[in-house]
Structure 1
């Protein structure tokens, strides 16, 4: 089997793009047999080069407007829901990947979809009400200790609207005096977190997600991989 080369994009319209790429570079050391390229994505042409994508935090309404202006919204929907490529959304990225959103600005907002959930935007209040909480994320494995989740004007999953059990709850948080909230979910190729792993020095979530990408792309000769990028030349910033 030839060496596996994977191009992972980070949607570069807003948010912690550089921070995500820094942790991806560190996490990629866990897969020495794979060659990774990390690409900032601002155009449909750049998106077409990607085998997987991260949608970072920011302001989801603004992200949707900018994506529409750049001609990215429909290609993103195709990437996620037709091509079924691995996608991870953090904070605003989780909102963008939901099928429904509550507490949107007047007139609502456009979403990419892919997760059969309804999210509640800004569940925990304003920027000054940001917080850090220890999260027990079982998918990271036992014996590793809690993950320090950074929550900044974070959304939560307020309802799973899929009745077929396809949405898997992977993480929750409970603030004192409040009910438990869902802050990490996965449905097939789509993963979403309310918190910001890229703002920590902990690479575990990035390394876990890269492992899922490698598996989806057929590492080990499984033959289950998704379509690889077509190598259309230099179309963006590669790290």
Structure 2
């Protein structure tokens, strides 16, 4: 019997995520249906998991509120503890706190015990791509893997951990509910145009020195600052499917 994964479809790389998920499911030979989610009924049908794509986080929260979906999303993540992955604005939505928000505040879903800094890397025209060495993509018998091309577009980073952190060394480990925040990837140095970040005023929360946390998970909640769906590399989509379908 097949399972259903949803992609929150208010804005952002909805089609790109759906395409990558379908390719990843085919590659892994998993029977998965991928649907767009704009209502609580569609959300409830997502028994395998949900992706919250990028876009503008205040628009996402406002759209979810207007569609009566904000509280069902919180219930889906926090009470039902279903697997959820947020990219860029999706990561912001899944954080418990956010800094550099607009004057009227920011409604969040929560689920990750972190504070994120919105638009950490500056404006749209300051977007960039960089190759990342993602240890969590390696299998247990691999010492290295090809770099992952990561696209950053007005991306957030984690500027405060609200719970103790661990680092996931086993790429095949299954996350436990109510686990500590696991740091999965750090962007070395400070690439931000944001003056406070560049000056170090936000501090470093990296356990291994200077750098920005750009991928993490806590229990069944996974977040990335960058946009894997905007590349042809489906390894992170494959990894996520393996985590949630195992």
TM-score, normalised by the number of residues in structure 1: 0.85
Distance in 1, matches of 2:85 and 2:190, equals: 28
Q: 1:181 aligns with which of 187, 191, 212?
A: 212
Closer/same/farther in 2, CA of residues 107 and 206 from structure 1, 3 Å limit: same
2:59 pairs with 1:38: no
Q: Report what 1:90 is aligned to.
A: 87
Relative to structure 1, is the Cα distance of residues 81 and 176 closer, same or farther in structure 2, using a 3 angstrom cutoff? closer
Cα offset for 1:6?
Answer: 1.2
Q: Does 1:108 align with 2:105?
A: yes
Decide whether the 8 Å contact of 1:133 with 1:173 is kept in 2: no
2:185 aligned with 1:171: yes
Count how many residue pairs are aligned between Structure 1 and Structure 2: 211
Q: CA RMSD in A?
A: 1.4
Gaps of 5+ in 2: 167-179, 192-197, 199-209
CA distance in 2, matches of 1:92, 1:164: 22
CA deviation map 1:164-210 (0-9, x unaligned): 75000000112567641000000000000000000000000000000
CA distance in 2, matches of 1:210, 1:121: 27
Q: C-alpha separation between the residues in 1 aligned to 2:7 and 2:165?
A: 30
Unmatched 5+ residue regions in structure 1?
Answer: 216-239
Structure 1 outlier segments of 4+, above 2 Å: 174-179
Question: Aligned equivalents of 1:38 and 1:29: distance in 2?
Answer: 12
Note the alpha carbon deviations across 1:196-236, whole angstroms, 9 max, x for none: 00000000000000001102xxxxxxxxxxxxxxxxxxxxx
Q: Structure 2 CA distance, aligned partners of 1:53 and 1:213?
A: 10
Q: Which has the higher contact order (CA 8 A, sep 6+)?
A: 1
Residue range with higher mean Cα deviation, 54-63 or 160-169:
160-169
- C-alpha separation in 2, matches of 1:5 and 1:151: 33
In 2, are the aligned partners of 1:7 and 1:50 still within 8 Å (CA)? yes
SS state at 2:232 partner: coil
Shift in Å at residue 31 of structure 1? 2.5
Indicate the residue corresponding to 1:148 in structure 2.
149
Partner of 1:67: 64
How big is each residue's C-alpha offset from its partner over 1:49-97, in whole Å with a ceiling of 9 and x where there is no partner?
Answer: 0020000000000100010000000000000000000000000000000
Give me the whole-angstrom Cα distance separating, in 1, the residues matched to 2:190 and 2:37: 39
The CA distance in 1 between the partners of 2:240 and 2:164, in whole Å, is 25
Distance (whole Å) between structure 2 residues aligned to residue 200 and residue 164 of structure 1: 29
